Amino acid sequence: MPSSLALLVTGVSTGLLAGGASCAAVQGGLLAGAVTRRSPAAPSPTTAAGSHHESRPAAKPASPPEPKALVPVGAFLAGKLLSHTLLGALLGVFGDALQPSPRARAVMLIAAAILMLLFALDLFGVKAVTRLVPRPPAAFGRVLRRSAKTDSVATPALIGLATVLVPCGVTLSVELIAVTSGSPVAGAAVMAGFVIGTAPLFAVLGYLFRRTSRALSGRLAAVTGVVVLAVAVWTAASGLQAGGWADFNLNSTPAAAPAPSNSGGAPADGKKPAADEPVRMDASGRQIVTLTVTDVYAPTQFTAKAGVPTTLVLHGKDAGGCARAFTLPELGIQKIVEQNGDTKIDLGKRKPGSLRFSCAMGMNNGAINFQKGSQ
């Protein structure tokens, strides 16, 4: 399970990069309606006194002070934060109950990427995907927009709560990440982080989509589409790596296999291998592959001997972030690495070939390449 802090950061960054713009395109009208609500007009003193000033032009109402004008925005975002955090916790419970395998999580990430791709194409105006993009019922949107015209401060908060039922494409993708987290705390963290990340841009973009010309709105939609498309590609690559189907780590140097051993388990050259070498043979003839886990994995590529008993040691060294959620997709193994300590996995006698490993989100990955050793 990825750490809650790592998923909070993931949610915030996703919200900042893509969520604010794409969600404003879907929910901007609701936010604008909540912010531009009109208070009931107060009767003027002359009207109350019964005076007649038909020829005198009516005075323009004074603009509300800036802090007061931001109250509906704050209430809207507070309601949105509450509903999305609760949803993230529920999705985390759902994921924990299912305990999806590493490759099931990877499939969910790829599904999220496909969903984001559809939303990006929709923002570009590709009509072929219009029917494939999930949308809320039109009647639901009309009801919310009508309710946004009331003057109660509670109204924008309730509308913010209801936005969980009007998700944008990136929101749906983050919801899938919450499911894969396998924890109510982690699920709540990624959803809360997402809303926090969208907050700085949400009010501004919502206002622009509401007030600017269609031409400018079209440009904003195109820019949003580019960002969402980039995030979709990144998510798809992460899913492929998380499933062990691809490796995009191009700048890596393999750790070498141990030297051929004598019958006693010592290397043929007579030198005793250092205990901290990434790949070594112990006195019993067992091969030890050591992967150091911090916020990343090091090394990311190993060359090991096939056909000998092998133990993978995950050496936690202030381990944190997604790297702690270690997986071997091919074997269906997932382990939480000790923050400072060793976690051991018995790999048995591997046949020649590559055994890929990854963090649960596919952001950190590598491989152990088993080769036939000298006899």
pLDDT at position 303: 95
pLDDT at position 222: 74
Q: What is the Cα Rg of the chain in Å?
A: 28
pLDDT at position 213: 47
Percent of the chain past pLDDT 90, that is, above it, reads: 23
pLDDT tens-digit series, residues 27-43? 655 555 555 444 444 44
Confidence of residue 263 (pLDDT cuts 50, 70, 90): very low
- When pLDDT is averaged across residues 257-265 and rounded to a whole number, the result is 51
pLDDT tens-digit series, residues 336-348? 888 899 999 999 9
pLDDT at position 331: 94
CA distances from 141 to 29, 136, 163, 228, 294 (A): 9, 7, 10, 23, 47
DSSP secondary structure string for all residues of 245-270: S-----S--PBPPPPPB-TTSSBTT-
pLDDT at position 277: 86
Helix 169-181 crosses helix 184-211 at what angle (to 10 degrees)?
Answer: 170
Strands 301-306 and 309-317: unpaired
Q: Is the pLDDT of residue 293 over 70?
A: yes
More confident residue, 45 or 235: 235
Which of 115-129, 205-219, 304-318 shows the lowest mean pLDDT across its residues? 205-219
Q: Is the pLDDT of residue 252 over 90?
A: no
Q: Is the pLDDT of residue 295 over 80?
A: yes
pLDDT tens-digit series, residues 6-15? 778 777 877 7
Question: Contact at 8 Å (CB) between 197 and 22?
Answer: no
Query: Residue 332 — φ and ψ, nearest 5°?
Result: 70, 25
pLDDT at position 53: 46
Q: Tokens 């001997």 appear where?
A: 305
Q: Tokens 């152990």 appear where?
A: 368
- When pLDDT is averaged across residues 104-113 and rounded to a whole number, the result is 82
- When pLDDT is averaged across residues 348-362 and rounded to a whole number, the result is 92
pLDDT tens-digit series, residues 193-212? 888 988 877 666 555 544 55
pLDDT at position 76: 78
C-alpha count within 13 angstroms, C-beta hemisphere, residue 109: 27
Provide the H-helix boundaries in the chain.
4-14, 20-35, 45-48, 66-69, 71-98, 102-123, 138-147, 154-162, 169-181, 184-211, 214-242
pLDDT at position 46: 43
**Which residues touch 23 (CB under 8 Å, ≥6 apart)?**
168, 170, 171, 198, 202
- Candidates 253, 355, 258, 357; CA nearest to 314 is 357
| For residue 260, cis peptide bond before it (omega within 30 degrees of 0) | no
- What is the rounded average pLDDT for all residues in the chain? 74
Q: Is the pLDDT of residue 284 over 80?
A: yes
* 152 secondary structure, DSSP code: -
- When pLDDT is averaged across residues 131-149 and rounded to a whole number, the result is 61
Tokens of 343: 């976690």
* 9 secondary structure, DSSP code: H
- When pLDDT is averaged across residues 266-278 and rounded to a whole number, the result is 59
pTM: 0.65
Q: Is the pLDDT of residue 333 over 90?
A: yes
- When pLDDT is averaged across residues 91-117 and rounded to a whole number, the result is 81
More confident residue, 334 or 273: 334
More confident residue, 110 or 164: 110
pLDDT at position 119: 77
pLDDT at position 336: 82
Domains of the chain: 4-38+66-242 (no CATH), 279-372 (2.60.40.420)
